[in-house]
Amino acid sequence: LFGLGLGTTITFASSHWLLAWMGLEMNTLAIIPLMAQHHHPRAVEATTKYFLTQAAAAATLLFASITNAWLTGQWEIQQISHPLPATMITLALALKIGLAPLHAWLPEVLQGLDLTTGLILSTWQKLAPFALILQIQPSNSTLLIILGITSTLIGGWGGLNQTQLRKILAYSSIAHLGWMILVLQFSPSITLLTLLTYFIMTFSTFLVFKLNKATNINTLATSWTKAPALTALTPLILLSLGGLPPLTGFMPKWLILQELTKQGLAPTATLAALTALLSLYFYLRLSYAMTLTISPNNLTGTTPWRLPSTQLTYPLAISTAMTT
């Protein structure tokens, strides 16, 4: 965990491509023991897949920054003037955070991890590449919009036929990143706001699934017996992830659509808004499984309405309050 923190901090603080690359590499190497700590074939497979994709992305990034230094004679992150290295770096960072069409590793990897490591992968691991994308963003506008729209589409489409919660969360992550990338070049502050709200919502969702020990939709249907109060609150978190109006998750989407229309990109905004409906469908499925189905032989009337008292209760209560 110390290595993770250090890697991200180094990338944040760097103005030289080599240092930024070093921070990203430290990030990758630090999370690998966390991923493989349960010596299960699935976890080992996920770790290997993650390592290979991240190594490929880091190699592309290093190659692109060397090409940039060769063409322009400087290593500054802020001054990428040539379109070739700029495009390559954007694609390498897109592969790092799992933007479509470079997303295929993310659901597979997340499915092989336990929920705590999955949470780190979905939140903390996005920070360092995002810091770099934010710094090089003005140079390749069409590429960013294409990446953004494909991500929102695939993030919505991919989650439709899933029953595994971790895969659903992976596709949810892809869709949210797509929204962030869409507005990145017009308003970085909205992107950061979206990233922050996404982190809070994902944190709540992962904690809920962890408290229920749930990894697929079927387990959620029996969660009434474990913690009815928690089960009653969960649809609020899920619908906030989907972006329904009275909840926090609606705010970033609204601001993004507003910004895109201001920039004269009404068709892009319309398409993004329609893809949000796809995501909403599978969040609704989860809510339905949790609250509108009664598991067999379930005596909900006799269950005490309280949260199971664990160390996760307080963080969950705070993040849920922020989400809804």
- Residue ranges of domains in the chain: 1-129, 140-323
What is the rounded average pLDDT of the residues 84-89? 93
Q: What is the pLDDT of residue 309?
A: 64
Residue located via tokens 């060769």: 70
Q: Which two tokens stand for residue 235?
A: 């649809």
Q: What is the mean pLDDT of residues 278-292?
A: 89
What distance separates the 2 farthest-apart alpha carbons in the chain? 73
Bridge partner residues of 16 (DSSP): 76
DSSP assignment of 284-309: HHHHIIIII---TT--GGGS--S---
Instruction: For residue 316, name the pLDDT band (cuts at 50, 70, 90).
Output: confident
Q: How far apart are the two ends of the chain, measured CA to CA in Å?
A: 29
Contact criterion met (CB below 8 Å) for 242 and 280: yes
**Is the distance from CB of 15 to CB of 76 less than 8 angstroms?**
yes
Q: What is the DSSP letter of 214?
A: -
Residue whose structure tokens are 């919009």 = 145
pLDDT digits (tens, 9 = 90+) for 121-139: 999 999 999 999 999 866 7
Rounded to an integer, what distance in angstroms lies between the CA atom of residue 213 and that of residue 241?
20
Q: Which of 20-24, 232-236, 259-263, 268-272 comes out lowest in average pLDDT? A: 232-236
What is the SS3 assignment for 61-85?
Answer: HHHHHHHHHHHHCCCECCCCCCHHH
Give me 64's structure tokens: 């692109």
